[in-house]
Amino acid sequence: MKFLPLIWCGLWRKPARTLLTFLSVVVAFLLFGLLQGVDSAFERIVGQQKLDRMFVDPRFGQPVPFSYKAQIERVKGITKLTEVHFMGGYYREMNNGLGVIFTIPSIWLAIRPEYQIPKAQVDRVAGTRTAVVISRWLAEHNGWKIGDHITIKANIPRKDGGNDWSFDVVGIMHNPDAPEARQMLANYAYLDEARASGSGVVSRFLMRIDDAAHAGRIARQIDALFANSSVATRTQSEQDQVQSALARIGDFKFFTRAIISAVFFALLFLTLNTTMESVRERTAELATLKTLGYPDTGLLALVLAESLLLFLVAAAIGLAIAALLFPLARDIVGNATLPSAVLAIGAGLAVAAAFISAIVPALRARALNIVQALTVR
Amino acid sequence: MSALRETIAVTGMNLRSLPTRYGTSLVIVVGIATVVAVLVSVLAMSRGFLESMTRSGRPERAIVLGRGAEAEASGGFPRDNAVTVLGLPGIKKATDGSPLASAEYLASVLLPENKDGRDAFIVVRGVGAGAFELRPELKLVEGRLFKAGLNEMIAGRGALKQLNGIKVGSHIPMQNGDWTVTGVFESNGDSHESEFMTDANTLIAAMRRGETFNSATVWLEDGAAFTKFKDAVSSNPTLAVDVKSEPAYFEQTSRPVARVLNVVAYVIGGFMALGAVFGALNTMYSAISARRVEIATLRALGFSTGAVIVSVFAEALLLAGVGALLGAAVAWFFFDNDLVSMASATNRGQLTFALSVSPGLIATGVAFALVIGTLGGLFPAIRVSRMPVAVALRG
């Protein structure tokens, strides 16, 4: 610790240069934090998806006959199974969109324990045909509360000729990982009675299986059941599905990696240059230190320590700003905190960058020949 | 006149001495090249996407969608509606006297392996008989057309580029068995090129999903016919459809995506530019520090401060310009016409499009670079003007 003042003085020998280098490092780590943050957030989304949760989807995009349910149920290893039918709609304003999931809400919620809801509210769904469980965001945004009778406009026409679907709010659910979800759960039976056409079909089936290791066998067994039926199926685990959905957005990883590499390439070029210059300018001073008895490795450590101090402090500030700005990316990644893994990777990167940009000048300082260095002056 | 000569002399002398400071000078060049390369590449993606989408639309054509549907895949209308729509006034007649229009049906097919070994959704567009006269940009480049009634389809060149090994003669698994790819078409690089095409009625029968069409595209008689056609649609109570002009439809569906890409480009580019300004300042400060004695000597000899300041700016801008061209060249070399595949904004499929590094984008990159160079030269130039000659000469 007693060398800290020496390192500090070495750093601030030319305040403008150090400050500018410092700010470049801050900006580089700020960018790294934001890009890597979005990237890690996507990965976290994939990681949260369960391998023991599976979907039975139509292979060619048609609606799936409800009658498949009885056959799927008989496949060994399925512990919970429910039908799902999606309806898009909006409340009052076109831009106030929401999604209705027609299902058996109690089973749907049992398959997805990450949704928080009091059990008493779930129990009330089965008793009321028009019951609905709304997400907390919908409740807060639209001012809905339990007991309210709500009417939304939706894209499925009703037998009575209209597009207005009415529901009675019996519960409010919350998923901390998707705090802004605009979804509500309603009884599939209500949809099937009231819709004008297409009765007896669903969007997909959702199920929980006893062991993630059985996912492949169960998927093959179900798909074989319907391979030659009117609607062929494709059964997948939730994780597989989310992974390929994210891949469809575009190869995001490639872009973040390419940009981060470009930023760090330019940064290392800059810091290597400034450190070289700084050591070159201080040739006489370093030689003096050697004359005073500082060991060769001591000088090497001194130069490395300067660089390390600069990088660590600047990286900390850059990542802190990234953490502050990250909530702005909420629209893209759905969650508002910078993953902590990014901070760890950032710290590692800072140490590596400090080392790379200072090792050549540091070796030069170690190899310094006192007599020569002092005569040049 | 002599002031000008003085400036040229000092600037020339300075630029000739650049090679002695090549290490620090490269910092500006590399820093700015990186900013420009990233900015231009991301903007090229946004531009390529927009070009591919808007190229699909022609003002002569209008698209009919199910009522309230934002995009083709999100709605539909029954066959009787399709028949009514194709008989409405305002639609141009084809050479055989039938309406120049096509009622279309979209199916998405999941092909388990694409180029990256992932699942790929490919849209199969079922088209009416008039589809080829309706879309003159559609050209068969390989094989032959599909025959109505047979399980045959033709593949867009863009779609094939994303798929592994599918070519003329390949079989595509569909609901009612394997379909054969009989030909390959090009469509001016627009969004249809990322699709497969076949006969609508054959596809509808195969999918066993009811007599529902996703859209109808019509060629209008003339500029005034759009209103006529639209009025005919909205005044018919049996129709549950909306009409949009084709360019408006494609523009509206692609604008949000393009906007996101542009914001990403400018946010990332802006932060990188900030970093590059710090780098440029560093370089220019060390440049004037290296030239301290030289500058003081010049001023002692009677050269004006203005001439010296100009020489500092010239150095910064020259380095920035070199960096910009280098960055643009990297973006152009690696990414121009590079194919990118993205989730389509209008249907469940993938949209494959080429990045487009245009002269306009390169100009944007150069402008960014010159702003960085100017900012990087500004403060060092101010310092130069304030440097006391006597102190500097004493070294």
What is chain B's mean pLDDT, rounded?
Answer: 85
Do residue B84 and residue B223 come from a single domain?
yes
Q: Is residue B119 part of a domain?
A: yes
Do residue B174 and residue B33 come from a single domain?
no
- Token pair in block for residue B17: 């001495």
| Contact call for residues B332 and B33 (beta carbons, < 8 A) | no
Helix (H) or strand (E) holding A73: helix A68-73
Do residue B225 and residue B352 come from a single domain?
no
Residues 6+ apart with CB under 8 A from B163: B111, B114, B115, B120, B122
User: A179 vs chain B: nearest CA distance in angstroms?
Assistant: 22
Tell me what pLDDT residue A377 has. Answer: 45
CA–centroid distance for B203 within its chain: 32
Q: Is residue B60 part of a domain?
A: no
- The one-letter code for the residue type at A116 is Q
CA–centroid distance for A298 within its chain: 44
Do residue B18 and residue B156 come from a single domain?
no
**Burial (Cβ within 10 Å: 0-12, 13-18, ≥19) of residue A159:** exposed
Domain with B90, as residue range(s), is: 68-239
User: Mean pLDDT across the stretch B62-86?
Assistant: 83
- Token pair in block for residue B183: 């030909």
Closest-approach residue (CA) in chain B for A227? B175
Radius of gyration of chain A (CA): 31
Do residue B25 and residue B122 come from a single domain?
no
Tell me what pLDDT residue A342 has. Answer: 87
Question: How far apart are the C-alpha atoms of B187 and B194, rounded to whole Å?
Answer: 9
**Burial (Cβ within 10 Å: 0-12, 13-18, ≥19) of residue B182:** buried
Do residue B41 and residue B107 come from a single domain?
no
Confidence of residue B347 (pLDDT cuts 50, 70, 90): low
Tell me what pLDDT residue B97 has. Answer: 84
Confidence of residue A135 (pLDDT cuts 50, 70, 90): very high
> How many residues belong to chain B?
395
Question: How far apart are the C-alpha atoms of B76 and B104, rounded to whole Å?
Answer: 10
Q: Is residue B352 part of a domain?
A: yes
Question: How far apart are the C-alpha atoms of B80 and B241, rounded to whole Å?
Answer: 12
How far are the Cα atoms of A158, A167, A201 from residue A190, in angstroms, in the given order?
A: 11, 10, 13
Radius of gyration of chain B (CA): 30
Q: Cα-flanking dihedrals φ and ψ of residue B132, to 5°? A: -80, -35
Q: How many CB atoms lie within 10 A of CB B69?
A: 17
Closest-approach residue (CA) in chain B for A229? B175
Tell me what pLDDT residue B168 has. Answer: 92
Question: How far apart are the C-alpha atoms of A209 and A189, rounded to whole Å?
Answer: 24
User: Does B275 sit within 8 Å of A24, measured CB to CB?
Assistant: yes
Confidence of residue A1 (pLDDT cuts 50, 70, 90): low
Question: How far apart are the C-alpha atoms of B312 and B373, rounded to whole Å?
Answer: 11
Q: pLDDT, tens digit, for every residue of B266-310?
A: 888 899 899 999 989 988 888 888 888 888 888 888 888 888 888
- The one-letter code for the residue type at B253 is T
Tell me what pLDDT residue B62 has. Answer: 92
User: Mean pLDDT across the stretch A319-327?
Assistant: 88
Confidence of residue A248 (pLDDT cuts 50, 70, 90): low
Q: Is residue B248 part of a domain?
A: no
| Contact call for residues B257 and B51 (beta carbons, < 8 A) | no
Do residue B8 and residue B77 come from a single domain?
no
Q: Is residue B249 part of a domain?
A: no
Residue A127 has pLDDT above 50, yes or no: yes
Confidence of residue B344 (pLDDT cuts 50, 70, 90): low
User: Does A20 sit within 8 Å of B278, measured CB to CB?
Assistant: yes
B290 in contact with chain A, both atoms CB, cutoff 8 A: no
What is chain A's mean pLDDT, rounded?
Answer: 86
Q: Is residue B381 part of a domain?
A: yes
Residues 6+ apart with CB under 8 A from A227: none
| Contact call for residues B340 and A248 (beta carbons, < 8 A) | no
C-alpha dihedral (A15, A20, A26, A30), degrees to nearest 10: 160
Closest residue to A232, CB basis, from B30, B175, B282 = B175
Nearest to A301 by CA among A367, A366, A233: A366
Q: Is residue B272 part of a domain?
A: yes
The percentage of chain B sitting over the pLDDT mark of 90, rounded to a whole number, equals 28
Among the candidates B239, B268, B288, a domain finishes at: B239
B159 in contact with chain A, both atoms CB, cutoff 8 A: no
Do residue B22 and residue B87 come from a single domain?
no
Question: How far apart are the C-alpha atoms of A128 and B239, rounded to whole Å?
Answer: 36
Do residue B198 and residue B287 come from a single domain?
no
Tell me what pLDDT residue A166 has. Answer: 93
Tell me what pLDDT residue B117 has. Answer: 56
Of the spans A332-336, B30-34, B75-79, B332-336, which averages the highest pLDDT? B30-34
DSSP one-letter code for B98: S
Beta-carbon-side half-sphere exposure of residue A373 (alpha carbons within 13 Å)? 20
Residue B127 has pLDDT above 90, yes or no: yes
Q: What is the ipTM of this complex?
A: 0.75
Residue B324 has pLDDT above 90, yes or no: yes
Bridge partners (DSSP) listed for residue A57? A234
Confidence of residue B212 (pLDDT cuts 50, 70, 90): confident
Q: pLDDT, tens digit, for every residue of B133-176?
A: 899 999 999 999 999 999 999 999 888 887 877 889 988 888 77
**Burial (Cβ within 10 Å: 0-12, 13-18, ≥19) of residue A192:** middle
Of the spans A201-215, B348-362, B379-393, which averages the highest pLDDT? A201-215
Name which of A226, A244, A332 to mutate to probe chain B: the one with the most chain B Cβ atoms within 10 A of its Cβ: A244
Helical H runs in B291-394?
A: 292-301, 305-335, 359-386, 389-394
B292 in contact with chain A, both atoms CB, cutoff 8 A: no
Q: pLDDT, tens digit, for every residue of A262-307?
A: 888 888 888 888 888 888 888 888 888 888 888 888 888 989 999 9
DSSP one-letter code for A132: E
Number of domains into which chain B is organized: 2
User: Does A270 sit within 8 Å of B209, measured CB to CB?
Assistant: no
| Contact call for residues B190 and B55 (beta carbons, < 8 A) | yes
Place of tokens 């080829």: B132
Please state the pTM of the whole predicted model: 0.74
Bridge partners (DSSP) listed for residue B347? none
User: Mean pLDDT across the stretch B95-112?
Assistant: 84
User: Mean pLDDT across the stretch B331-351?
Assistant: 72
Closest residue to A27, CB basis, from B37, B119, B275 = B275
Do residue B131 and residue B156 come from a single domain?
yes
Cα angle B379, B385, B391; round to 5:
115
| Contact call for residues A273 and A266 (beta carbons, < 8 A) | no
Residue A376 has pLDDT above 60, yes or no: no
Closest residue to A266, CB basis, from B31, B281, B348 = B31
Tell me what pLDDT residue B196 has. Answer: 93
Residues 6+ apart with CB under 8 A from B28: B276, B279, B280, B283, B284, B316, B319, B320, B323, B373, B376
Helix (H) or strand (E) holding B111: strand B101-111
Tell me what pLDDT residue A333 has. Answer: 59
3-state helix, strand, coil in chain A (%, to 5): 55, 20, 25
Closest-approach residue (CA) in chain A for B209? A62
Q: Is residue B244 part of a domain?
A: no
Size of interface A-B (CB pairs under 8 A): 116
Among the candidates B205, B239, B273, a domain finishes at: B239
Among the candidates B181, B204, B239, a domain finishes at: B239
Do residue B77 and residue B167 come from a single domain?
yes
CA–centroid distance for A26 within its chain: 23
3-state helix, strand, coil in chain B (%, to 5): 55, 20, 25
Residue A351 has pLDDT above 80, yes or no: yes
Confidence of residue A139 (pLDDT cuts 50, 70, 90): very high
Tell me what pLDDT residue B154 has. Answer: 95
In B, which residues are within 8 Å of A278 by CB distance? none
More confident residue, B159 or B67: B159
Q: Which of A53-67, A263-277, A283-297, B345-359 is least confident?
A: B345-359
- Give the DSSP per-residue string, B326-341: HHHHHHHHHHTT-EEE
Do residue B47 and residue B101 come from a single domain?
no
- The one-letter code for the residue type at B25 is S
